[in-house]
Amino acid sequence: MIPGTLPPVLTIDGPSGSGKGTVSRRVADALRWHLLDSGALYRVLAHAAHAAGIATAESGELIRLARTMPVAFTRTADGEERVLLAGRDVTCAMRTEECGSRASEIAVLPAVREGLKALQRDFRRPPGLVADGRDMGTVIFPDAALKIFLTASVEERAQRRYKQLKEKGLNATLHSLFQDITARDERDQKRAVSPLQPAPDAVVLDTTGMPVAQAVARILELARTRFIQTVPGH
């Protein structure tokens, strides 16, 4: 990195169930870069607000919480990711569909989005950052060196989510997930501030029927053409 320049960022945006989470983790591991799971920040905030009895309408309280919540991302010895809020493990609580819906509700609030900006930008550290979310390439890191927008059909996304939840032993029906994803897409795409949409300079990748490994390989190939010197193993 040239002194005085910021570490490079690769953004991976897209709707729930597009495979962003898994793909972003694998790309970050392959590059040996840091990872920002920005959805987790919205979820932790939703969880913390709910636990503190703060309603969605109390935007002042929500901003204060967004700016001050003591959140930490760690990995266990066997590589499992854990999210801590004030030292307490909230990983399971924040992964529920209920918490995801609450996160989507507070994410429409401009003040909340503003309140989480600095926290998200703090993740930009050498050697580089893979940022996973909805507005990473459009708002948080508009200067990203590579922007990817992942999509997949609603049917396939509901199936993937169903499988994920079952594996975690959490309860859900395919029908309710389909409805929930459709409602969440609508809310995420239509909100006035930072709506879910590809940046004009994003590469759109439709992962319907595409194995994760193929999506990862495609992104690494694109990264290789842009930061050839920093992709390990190439």
Task: Compute φ and ψ for 93, nearest 5 degrees.
Answer: -60, -40
Instruction: Count how many Cα atoms sit within 13 Å of the Cα of residue 52 in the half-sphere of its side chain.
Output: 17
Among 19, 128, 133, 137, binds ligand DC (CB under 6 A): 133
Q: Least distance from C-beta 43 to ligand DC, angstroms?
A: 5
In this complex, which beta carbon is closest to ligand DC, that of residue 26 or of residue 43? 43
In this complex, which beta carbon is closest to ligand DC, that of residue 201 or of residue 221? 201
Note if the bond before 127 is cis, omega within 30 degrees: yes
**List of residues 6+ apart from 4 with CB closer than 8 A:** none
How far is 58 from 167, CA to CA, in rounded Å?
36
Residues 77-96 close enough to bind ligand DC by CB under 6 A: none
Q: Least distance from C-beta 185 to ligand DC, angstroms?
A: 9
How far is 11 from 9, CA to CA, in rounded Å?
6
Count of residues that interact with ligand DC, criterion CB under 6 A:
14
In this complex, which beta carbon is closest to ligand DC, that of residue 100 or of residue 231? 100
In this complex, which beta carbon is closest to ligand DC, that of residue 22 or of residue 153? 22
Residues 139-178 close enough to bind ligand DC by CB under 6 A: none
Q: Least distance from C-beta 133 to ligand DC, angstroms?
A: 3
For residue 62, how many other CB atoms are within 10 A of its CB? 23
What residues does 81 pair with on adjacent strands?
A: 75
In this complex, which beta carbon is closest to ligand DC, that of residue 24 or of residue 230? 24
Smallest CA-to-CA distance from 71 within 36, 33, 29 is with 36
Among 23, 103, 158, 231, binds ligand DC (CB under 6 A): 103
How far is 194 from 162, CA to CA, in rounded Å?
27
* Residue 17 near residue 152 (C-beta atoms within 8 A): yes
Q: Least distance from C-beta 75 to ligand DC, angstroms?
A: 18
Binding mask 11-50 for ligand DC (x = CB under 6 A): -----x---------------------xx--xx-------
Binding mask 189-228 for ligand DC (x = CB under 6 A): ----------------------------------------
Whether the CA torsion 132, 22, 188, 98 is positive or negative: it is negative
3-state secondary structure of 49: helix
Residues near ligand DC, by CB under 6 A: 16, 38-39, 42-43, 100, 103-104, 107, 133-135, 184, 188
